[in-house]
Amino acid sequence: MKYFLIPILMLVSKIALSQIMLPAYQGVVAKIPAGAVKSCPGLATVTDVDNNSYNTVLIGTQCWMASNLRVTKYNNGTLIPLDNSGGSTGDGSTETWTARTSGALTVYAHSNGNLITYGYLYNWYAATDSREICPTGWHVPSDAEWTTLTTFLGGLTLAGGKMKSTGTTYWTSPNTGADNSSGFSALPGGIRFKGGNPPGAFAGIKNTARFGSTTTSSTAAYFYQLDFDDINVTQGTCGKSCGHSVRCLRD
C-alpha cells in the first residue's frame, strides 16, 4: 500500500506528549536470522548524544544503524523542537507541523507507545541541520547512498523483503516476503505529511516504513519506502516538512 497524495487517517487515543527524554533505548529489537548478517567491524553498537544505543549492521560495504533514530537533541546539545500539534490524527485545528521551515521531530499519533516501538519522525530540516542529528562519524544518507544499498540487495523490486523485519507483531499482515536477510530490520513507523487534504496528517503506522534522505528535488526531498504488502522499495519525494523515520549511515 503506497502513501503519497491521500493520507489514510488512523484514529488512536490522544496522549499528551511533552519533549520525551529516554536515557537509553529499551524498545523493540527485531529478529535477525542467525549467522546471516554481521555487525560493523569493530563497532557492534553506536551511541547518540542522548545515550541511546543502536546495533549496527554491515550491508555490502556500508555500515548502517539497525534501528530507527530516536535522538531528541542535535550533537551540540540543542533540543530538536517537538511538534505535538494536531491531535492524535495530526490534522486537527491546532496543527503546526506543515508550516515548519526549520528542524523538528514528532511522534506518530503523539503516542509514547509508538515512540518506543518505531522511534521519532524527523523533517528534512532536522536531517540536514549543520548541528547534526546522527552520532559523530555518522550521517543521514543521501539518495545515492540509499541506491547503493538497494542495488546491493538486488534492486528496488527485491530489496524490500530483505530489509523488512519479520512477522506481523509490528507489521500489518501479510508482511509480504519479509525475511530480514540483510539485517536492516525495518519497522513501519509511518509518515507525517506536509500537505495534502488534510495537511499534517499521520498515515501508515504498521503498514509503511519510510526513510528520509538529504537529497532534494526542487522543494521536496527523496525518501525510500517499504510496505507491508510487497517486496519492493519505492523511491519518491515528499515536501521538506514531511516526517520520516531516519537511519544513520557511518561516514
pLDDT at position 195: 75
Q: Among all chains, which residue has been given the C-alpha cell 530538536?
A: 80
Please give the sequence-ordered ranges of beta strands (E in DSSP) within the chain, or none if there are none: 45-47, 53-59, 62-65, 105-106, 121-122, 138-139, 191-192, 202-203, 208-217, 220-227, 233-239, 249-250
pLDDT at position 12: 34
- Which stretches of the chain score pLDDT less than 70? 1-36, 197
Q: Does 144 map to a domain?
A: yes
pLDDT at position 240: 96
Picking from 104, 62, 88, 60, the residue whose alpha carbon sits closest to that of residue 212 is 104
Q: How many domains does the chain divide into?
A: 1
Q: Does 241 map to a domain?
A: yes
Q: Does 135 map to a domain?
A: yes
CA distance 119 to 114: 7
CA distance 71 to 246: 10
pLDDT at position 30: 53
Q: Among all chains, which residue has been given the C-alpha cell 547534526?
A: 132
pLDDT at position 198: 81
pLDDT at position 110: 97
Domain of 147 in residue numbering reads as 45-250
Contacting residues for 248 by C-beta, under 8 A, at least 6 apart: 46, 54, 64, 65, 69, 134, 135, 138, 139, 140, 141
Q: Does 34 map to a domain?
A: no
Q: Does 68 map to a domain?
A: yes
DSSP bridge partners of 67: none
Q: Does 59 map to a domain?
A: yes
Q: Does 96 map to a domain?
A: yes
Q: Does 9 map to a domain?
A: no
pLDDT at position 1: 52
